[in-house]
Structure 1
Amino acid sequence: MLRLRSCILSHLLSSPAASSIPFSLHRLISAAAPAVSPSPSFAVKDYLVDTCGLTPAQALKASTKLSHLKSRTKPDAVLAFLAGLGLSSADVATVVAKDPRLLCAKVEGTLAPNVAGFIGLGLSRTEIVRLVSLTPLSFRCRSIVSNLPYYLSLFGSYENLLRVLKKNINLLGYDLEKVAVPKVALLRECGLGACDIASLCQNVPWLLTANLESVQTMVACSEGIGVPRGSGMFRHMLHAVAFLNEEKMAVKVDYLKNTFRWSDAEARVALCQAPMLLTRSKDMLQRTSEFLSSQVGLEPAYISRRPVMIMYSLEGWLRPRYYVVKFLKENGLLKHGASYYTAVKLTEKVFMEKFICPRKEATPHLSEDYAAACGGEVQNNFRFI
């Protein structure tokens, strides 16, 4: 019976007459789900393992949320519905493990109307399957259909929405006006456009579901550091401060000042250009500071005006390029006034074109040695010879 129902549903979803699906699904599920008397022998954990495909550990955890189930009537109907949508056995197991209570959802009252709503919004069968697989808890909320157009418009595309949902799977189930709309309004007041908001939500997935006061604090911290609303770096600063409270941020700023020997003004200049410095580990900052100051010989003020250098990998980017520049200068193949920073900020392709390729004849091993350096094989005293 389960197999028959899923096959019929699959046929309905793929038929040209998609507009008639809500009524057809209602008739299908109603007719194919005869009442089943509660069975005293029904074991939820066994059902989750044998029928849903969960592991024993997953089933044990999920069963605590299904202790009220006394028969397989509703779960069977839900599983048939999911199979008819096109979810594989593995997909079903994943969905049930994420949200066991989906097995108790009303197929004819919630799931079928939601699918009909998705189709009405223009989602393809594949897109519906991906959405259901990713957000099973929201799928059993009737508000998901009315919320979906807002988020599709906000994030610009279905793919952008999925990227956000992968990190905040319950977003579509929240009350739109109470949860998302006030935060989006605040972000727009700060000069962020739809693309900025979408990008920020991918990096800070809880942003739209956090309380408004938390987002207001992020805005205040960003402005306090010196990045004004409406500037191109404001989104990046919001991302940087999102995971820091005021106390932690103050500690991090002090650490940056002490590590790079910056004044308050120099620290502010650096952070306004490279807000993500606040997210870097203390160990990475310490090692990069020692390298740039002691080995390269750069002054604190110079670094603060070019803080992007600190964001690059020490082993895979800064150190190998330093060795190339140093070697070329020492061997008269590069002007002594040439800037190390110029070499650092170039893309890999352009760096190769400007520093490596033109000197193949004079230094036949330079490309090979540079590649070895990028792979971490170079010691501090390595010479490209």
Structure 2
Amino acid sequence: MPPTVAPDRPTAVKTKKRPVFPFTAIVGQEEMKLALILNTIDPKVGGVMIMGDRGTGKSTTIRALADLLPEIEVIADDPFNSHPSQRELMSDEAWGRVEAGKEVTVAHKQVPMVDLPLGATEDRVCGTIDIEKALSEGVKAFEPGLLAKANRGILYVDEVNLLDDHLVDVLLDSAASGWNTVEREGISIRHPASFVLVGSGNPEEGELRPQLLDRFGMHAEIHTVRQPDLRVQIVEQRTQFDAAPEEFLLEYEIQQQEIRKTLEEARKLLPRVTIDRELRLKISEVCSELDVDGLRGDIVTNRAAKALAAWEGRTEVEVDDIRRVIVLCLRHRLRKDPLESIDSGYKVRKVFGEIFKVSSDVDDD
């Protein structure tokens, strides 16, 4: 039986959401914005690690992106934000109901944006199983955690470099597989956990181990804006937003709608985007020349280049697409020693220029 659409939601009970600074009003930090957009178009890029100075708008930009995304279809009252028809985005319980021909009600909701607090425990993140209830009543009593809430959305971890390595491993495993499995005393429960993982931190407080850092698809560096005129512009914008958020949002509504529409079109176009074999060979040649361990660098660069082509409305990847994403995809994979600092991008650009036969002294957009 096909899913039924819930009747129009009554506006009277609709809660007014808190105003969020518009994505299109954010000045500078193009590298971070591009990485976030590409992960939104293709979540399989693998998330993004954002490292930079304090007070550079990391959290503001991530929340602005989540607010920008169009609403998603979910099965009403499902704790995992299950998709009404796509199996890989549905919980086993929801899939069982659909397979049995039971009626499911479809609702619409804002893309979830989940903040992971630094002091979170594994149970809080993954969820817990009530062993006593399971044994006494014979049912799998599961209390969903933050990974369930983040399914089909964005999971943001501020100061991820200060998070326990084991917990980072759990997050990265779930982000890579799209599923979270909780096992306690011989009882196993799993649920979909497909989300864009965004981590941020200040390099002065330490880096992640290279093995963990490699698991992030992209690595963006952001710096404090130094130009006085841009600093004044940022301060003025923030002051206007804080004083009259509704009026400020109205000024950017058209740009917000345009970028929202472009995102939707890019997602639809992505499956049709192709990348020439010769370009794929050169990407792998760059990775090999840079001595990048494993194949994640190759895969992520291919995916990111295709996402960028889709973002710009093209079905074929060009050399310039690769140039614009390859530093984001590879710079954090060059560090072999935890005591080394992450390359700013010079090595990647240099090798890219040599292999692709283009000028290597270009700046990233």
Q: Which of the two has greater helix per residue?
A: 1
Which TM-score band (shorter chain)?
Answer: under 0.3
Larger radius of gyration: 1
- Answer 1 or 2: higher relative contact order, Cα 8 Å, separation at least 6: 2
TM-score by length of 2: 0.22
